[in-house]
Structure formats: C-alpha cells, structure tokens
Amino acid sequence: MKALVLAGGTGSRLRPLTHTMAKQLIPLGNKPVIRYGIEAIVAAGISEIGVVVGGAAHELRDVIGDGSRFGARITYLVQEEALGLAHAVRVARDWLGDEDFLMYLGDNYLPSGIADLVAQYRAERRALVDAWILLAKVEDPTRFGIAELAADGTVARMEEKPAAPVSDLAVVGVYLFTPAVHEAVAAVGPSARGELEITDAVQWLIDSGRTVRGSSVTGYWKDTGTVDDLLEANNAVLEDVERSVRGEVGEGSEVIGRVRIEAGASIVRSRVVGPAVIGADVLVRDSVVGPFTSVADGCRITGSAVRSSLLLEGVRLDGAGPVEGSLLGRHARVAGPGPGTVAQRLVLGEHSSVLLAGDRTRSPQDPPQEGFKGTS
C-alpha cells in the first residue's frame, strides 16, 4: 500500500505566514507538522510515500528530502494549482497505480498515529468496502467535512463544511481508498468554494452504491489550519516534552519543569517555565519565556516576556511583552518600550517588524513587574 500526503494547499487561513511558507512546515514543538504525519505513516508500515506539493515545492523537498531519514521513499508530485483534495488525487493518479492507498492531509496532527487503523484496514480489506474514513466529534461541524452514519455503521452521507450540519462527526484528514476513488475524483465538479472536494468524491462513491466505512479516531486529533488550532496542537506537543537541558543556563536563571533546551542556546538572567522548547542557538536574556511556548532555532529574546506562543526560526523580541497566544513567522521582529501589563497577541508573517506602543499606564522607569526580570 502507498501513502499520499497532501501539502499543496494555499493555507489561506494562516496568512500572512503562508505567503512565504507551506503550512505543513510550521513547527509544533520545533518539528514541522508534516514530519509527524510522515513518521506516523512509516510507523504504520508504509514506506512508499507520494507528497503532493504546490508553490512551496522547493522548501518541502529541502526539509523532507528523499525520505531516507524516515525509512521511506518519497516521490514529489506537483499540483500546479490548489484546486482541492480530489484534484490532488487526480494529479497522483499515475503514481498511485491500481493499488489501495492511504491519504493523509499534511497539516493534520494525530499523536497516537495511524498504525492501528492501517492494520485493521489490511485485516478487514476483503469484508470492505471501497473507502474507509476516520471521524472525530467536533464542537463546530461547519468547519469540516461532515459524515452521517447509517445504522450499520457505514457512511450514509458526506458534506463539506455544511451551514446546517446533520451530525457532529468531522472527517479527519486520514482516508483509506481502493482504486474505485479514481472514478469518483474524475466525476466530481467544483464545489461552491471552487475546489474539487474529496468529500464530494466519497459522496459520489456512496451514491454509486459503494460502501464507505467510518471509524472514530482514538486519541487526540487536530487540523492545524488556523492560528488557534496550531497553538492548541503546539500545546499538546509540549505536554509531552521531557526535560533536557543541553544549552547553557547562566547564573541568576531558572528553568522550571519540562523544558527542552537545545545545544548552543543560552539562558541569561531569565526564567523559562515549562512546558517549553528552546531551539539551538537561541539567546534568552533578561526575559521570561513560557509556559506553553516553542522557540525555534536562532531566536533572540531580550528584555521580554512571552508565553503560550509559537516563535519560528530567527524571531527577535526586544523589550516586548507580555506577548501571548502569538504566532511569529521566521525572522519577525517585535520591539517595545518594555513589558507592560496588557498582553499583546500577534500573528506576524516572515520578516515582519512591529514596534509596540507599549502600556501607557506604565512608564519604562517603573519597576519591573512581578515575574519579569527587567533589562539590566
């Protein structure tokens, strides 16, 4: 069985970050989200992987490579335009051949993996069916593909982001298909959002009398397509961080709880509160970082406070904060007159530069707030 990983979308809900990078490369706990997916696929015993790429093809190839480091063989399949998930299957038609395959959306995070699902599919394949989808109960079904189950547990109906959902069972971005899906993706036309929806293709299978089975996801699942979902998935990753301090922690600094500090990082007169990860060659000086914060390689945080945030490579915070619930793109810079009392929530694209006006109830001469070590 092959696996098809989809990473060709535009990531419109994560702009401006996705103007310059693929959303599947945004790191959770400092590891690109797509790597969790590829590792889960390999752990499920599938090593022949096709990755459908769009505009960010080069960077995805750079980060993921030929798959050898994961024990996989990766083939890149170019989707010139982001015309939908069913369109991606059309693009991969020749590469997929006439085998069953697993389809995995590259921005989905499922820490408990998919090995059980794939094993069950392999064991029960003959009793099957033409497709098998994974489902999860969600609070807001209007944001997802939704499935309605028949009394016998098969899928009776599927709808993409319905305004009036008939169920709260969302389609998780993991699908198992027999070659019957190729006929379906060839048959569907564009949806209201102008895309060829895989949901419509599965509905087409149902309408043609094929059997589609659904099973519930066990454990945590997150589609990391929005800032809030990314931050939540990052928190879930950080919950599992084990304490490991390889960087330098200078005198007058405190590292509290489950914190991973990579080699080459340096913590000076600061407090890092877990769960948190601090990447290689990061400088944290006169600052408070965490909890629930990922700081990627090469960031520089001075005289600042940051928590519940995701900082991508090379971000600089200088006299800023408290920065909270923020997603800061690569090499973004945030400067301010010193931490105030009002939390700042920022979503910044690559190389953005923001000068915060600061908290006008405080002056830079005021004594530092509790928990903040101040610049010195």
Binding region for ligand G1P (CB under 6 A): 85, 105, 108, 144-145, 160, 170-173, 197, 199, 223, 225
Q: Which is nearer to ligand G1P, 33 or 284 (CB)?
A: 33
Separation of CA 17 from chain center: 13
CB of 159 to ligand G1P, least distance (A): 9
Q: Which is nearer to ligand G1P, 199 or 326 (CB)?
A: 199
Closest residue to ligand G1P in the complex (CB): 145
User: CA-CA distance, 164 to 114, in Å (whole number)?
Assistant: 30
Per the CB < 8 A criterion, the answer to whether 176 and 132 are in contact is yes
Q: Which is nearer to ligand G1P, 225 or 247 (CB)?
A: 225
CB of 292 to ligand G1P, least distance (A): 23
CB of 198 to ligand G1P, least distance (A): 6
Whose structure tokens read 């392999």? 122
Backbone φ and ψ of 152, nearest 5° = -85, 5
Q: What is the DSSP letter of 226?
A: S
Per the CB < 8 A criterion, the answer to whether 93 and 73 are in contact is no
CB of 131 to ligand G1P, least distance (A): 13
Q: Which is nearer to ligand G1P, 171 or 346 (CB)?
A: 171
Per the CB < 8 A criterion, the answer to whether 287 and 278 are in contact is no
Coil, helix or strand at residue 310: strand
Tokens linked to 198? 């895989």
User: CA-CA distance, 263 to 246, in Å (whole number)?
Assistant: 5
CB of 189 to ligand G1P, least distance (A): 16
Q: What is the DSSP letter of 196?
A: -
CB of 258 to ligand G1P, least distance (A): 28
